[in-house]
Amino acid sequence: MVILGAGFAGLAAARELCGKGVDVTIVDRQNHHVFQPLLYQVATAGLSPADIAAPIRSIVKKHERTHVRLGEVVAVNSHARLVELAEGDFLPYDYLIVATGARHGYFGREEWAEHAPGLKTIDDATLLRRKILLALEHAETLPPGPERDRQLTFVLVGGGPTGVEMAGAIAELTRHSVSMEFRTIMSKLSRVVLIEAGPRLLASFPERLSECARRSLDKLGVEVRLSERVVDVDARGVGLENERIDAGTVIWSAGVMASPAARWLGVEGDRAGRVAVEADLSLPGRPDVFVVGDVASRSRADGRPVPGIAPAAKQMGVHAARVIAARVTGRQTPPPFRYRDYGNLATIGRKRAVADFGHAQVRGTLAWLLWCVAHVYFLVGFRNRLIVGANWLWHYFTFDRGARLITALDGGAVFGGRHDPHGAEQFRNIVTDAPQRAAHV
């Protein structure tokens, strides 16, 4: 049994197969599993990377028949039942689960990625943290004027849960931390703009909760721009259809694309690159290959697609594993996959959140407490739960974000497989322009 990807779906499948008489090999490009719903907290200096991640080998260390392979998949030969890795090795399989998740989607404008990074990995989060903190440091050395205003402008493209949570977190970071620690820039000088092409935020939530989220962002000072489309992104900011916004930091949260699984498997993907699957989550015509999580396209009974969220990925991973275990042991095959919706949660900031449970809708402090409890509970490992809970308690009483570390300045950083020099470039701008700003400082 080979599982591609150690995200929510892949790990759920591996755990379900433990003790079922199956040898499991997990393949992933990273050696760690990341709790993606809290990546924005790393990007805004609320948590450290190790607080929301754990080594894959540590997670499965008690599963004696589970092995971990660090590697990158480049192809799948379903006829020979072989997975090809970038280093040239081949892994044979009897059953294959593809759970490689999704990446950022720029609607065909991939050149925007250089100037508007998204948030999917630990590297993404630390890159964004560096960009945000360097923008504040740069603005501290600048005299009043357009360039300082640009450095203190943060634009988020996309009004889904990630965009809303990031906008609220950046607003709290720039207002409270700036007012307490910086000397020449004031909290009221920072500008956070959230741009959504649709008519409302959080489109997957009821309209009442979407409006509640918008009002909460307004109270935090976030400028919400609805029904406006981004037509250009460059190093100086973003262009809208009728306006341009100069910004030092642009963050992309408007769309995702599935991993290249469709290409590996030699099948046609939908517009987002997802692969259509059968009722048991297997690939049509290939009962030994299962596709789960963000890379799978499957509709619910009411015709709506299964959402690309962590609970859905876990349920799909478990179901695929149960189908395989039933075949291996000769037991009755489980019924077709049915997604169980346990609700949606989104936080906007301190004591501000919305929760949709279908029959009940919650907002405000109660929803925020539910969000905190749920995210701490689903973290991997007792240590991470304890640390995250303690950090949030400390932040609540002090407003202090202790993970404000600017790293990898000497030569930039690796982002998405590319060398990203923007952190070093921002740092050089601060240092080399210092003499001209000495009088102001």
Catalytic residues: 165
**Are 355 and 343 within 8 A, CB to CB?**
yes
Q: What is the arrangement of strands in the sheet containing 237-240, beginning at the earlier edge strand?
A: 230-234, 237-240, 244-246
Find, among 319, 270, 331, the residue nearest to 296 by Cα: 270
Exposure string of 50-70, with b = 16+ CB inside 10 Å and e = fewer, is: ebbbbbbeebbeebeebebbe
Tell me how crowded residue 140 is: count the other CB atoms within 10 A of its CB: 19
Residues in CB range of 294: below 8 A, 6 or more apart: 9, 101, 102, 256, 258, 259, 274, 308, 313
Residues in CB range of 22: below 8 A, 6 or more apart: 1, 65, 324, 325, 328
Find, among 188, 157, 154, the residue nearest to 170 by Cα: 154
Tell me how crowded residue 93 is: count the other CB atoms within 10 A of its CB: 18
Work out whether strand 82-85 and strand 73-77 pair parallel, antiparallel, or are unpaired: antiparallel
**Are 236 and 244 within 8 A, CB to CB?**
no
Runs of H (alpha helix) within 224-363 = 261-265, 310-329
Tell me the backbone φ, ψ of residue 187, rounded to 5 degrees.
-60, -35
What value, to the nearest 5°, has the Cα angle with vertex 170 and ends 307 and 242?
80
3-state SS class at 391: helix
Work out whether strand 32-34 and strand 53-55 pair parallel, antiparallel, or are unpaired: antiparallel
Please give the single-letter amino acid code of residue 269.
G
Runs of H (alpha helix) within 330-405 = 365-377, 382-398
E-state strands within 222-325: 222-226, 230-234, 237-240, 244-246, 249-252, 256-258, 275-276, 282-283, 286-291, 296-297
Longest dimension (CA), the chain: 80
Residue with tokens 């997990």: 26
